[in-house]
Amino acid sequence: MKVVDQIKEPIIAEMELFEKKFYESMTSKVALLNRITHYIVNRKGKQMRPMFVFLTSKLINNGEVNERTYRGASVIELIHTATLVHDDVVDESNKRRGFFSINALWKNKIAVLVGDYLLSKGLLLSIDNGDFDLLKIISVAVREMSEGELLQIEKARRLDITEAVYYEIIRQKTATLIAACCSLGACSVKPDSEEVEVFRKFGEYCGMAFQIKDDLFDYGDAAIGKPTGIDIKEQKMTLPLIYVLNNCSKKEKRWVINSIKNHNKDKKRVKEVINFVKDNGGLDYAITKMLEFKDQALAILETYPDSDYKNSLQLMVNYVVDRKI
């Protein structure tokens, strides 16, 4: 059995019902929108985010979820899908999970409007049902994700990023959404409990580990959705690179920065930078940090009694750092 299927096992019924509710939450009177949302739903990814919502709810609430949990999962998936649609426009990307992106098939203008539509649908789903506590969690996540992306763009221009700033970027850009999934799951069943914050932290640690793993793919030959060296080509400062820049000679630092600024389209030069990072301990350092975040997430789960939901969340945390794609 695949790891993702093992993780899903204790929430299989919830995930099936969720998919139905999620599709219903997207419907519109505009035929074009329905064609596009149908295309999106049929090319769904692993659905890690709703899985985090349901597993967290069931872990802390004796295996029970409620309608708020389903709405929370739908809102998160709507917002996440909206950000992916917009990201593909920003990145001028024609593929998403091996299929054509929305902007590739229907052009940028329609893709931007579809992203806006999904975002508004997510917000209205919370408002129409009076889930203002869930709406606050989601709205904070959207704000932070936008700030994280812009902070990364600002820093990429100057290539002056420190490790602390890097953590702030990935916390906002990636970890915030996974943190929102877990705190939504907790908040949907125990609205005013301390567990809402506990599981926000849990999700944040998972998200940090997830993003560092993504950064590491840039230095490997794994068959994921982005080719090796693309972060260097796009002048994105990742943890292996930051570590090496902070621990090499001034001459080497000048060469690396010059390579990224002025020779980032040169395949041979990019390969040289990748090898330099590998040879100077950049990957080993990033792996160590990734495992620290993983252990912090697992430590939170240890405070809960054993259950299928706890086991699935532990599998999920390990999957984040062990995955090949």
What whole-number distance in Å separates Cα of residue 286 and Cα of residue 211? 11
For the domain that residue 83 is a member of, what is the CATH number? 1.10.600.10
Q: Is the pTM of this model over 0.85?
A: yes
Backbone angles phi, psi at 100, to 5 degrees: -65, 140
The total number of structural domains that make up the chain: 1
Q: DSSP per residue over 279-319, as a string?
A: HTTHHHHHHHHHHHHHHHHHHHHTTS---HHHHHHHHHHHH
Note down the domain range covering 41.
3-322
> 322 is written with which tokens?
């062990």
Backbone angles phi, psi at 95, to 5 degrees: -130, 150
Helix (H, G, I), strand (E, B) or coil at 66: coil
What whole-number distance in Å separates Cα of residue 181 and Cα of residue 229? 30
Backbone angles phi, psi at 226, to 5 degrees: -135, 140
Q: Taking Cα atoms as reference points, which of 31, 17, 145, 125 lies closest to residue 75?
A: 125
Overall average pLDDT of the 56-74 stretch: 94
pLDDT digits (tens, 9 = 90+) for 219-257: 875 444 455 667 777 767 889 989 999 898 989 998 988
Confidence of residue 325 (pLDDT cuts 50, 70, 90): low
Helix 250-262, helix 267-279: angle, nearest 10: 150
Confidence of residue 98 (pLDDT cuts 50, 70, 90): low
Q: Inform me whether the pLDDT recorded for 118 exceeds 50.
A: yes
Q: Inform me whether the pLDDT recorded for 79 exceeds 50.
A: yes
Q: Inform me whether the pLDDT recorded for 264 exceeds 90.
A: no
> How many other C-beta atoms are found inside a 10 Å radius of the C-beta of residue 279?
10
Q: Taking Cα atoms as reference points, which of 76, 62, 56, 61 lies closest to residue 314?
A: 56
Helix %, strand %, coil % for the chain, to 5? 75, 0, 20
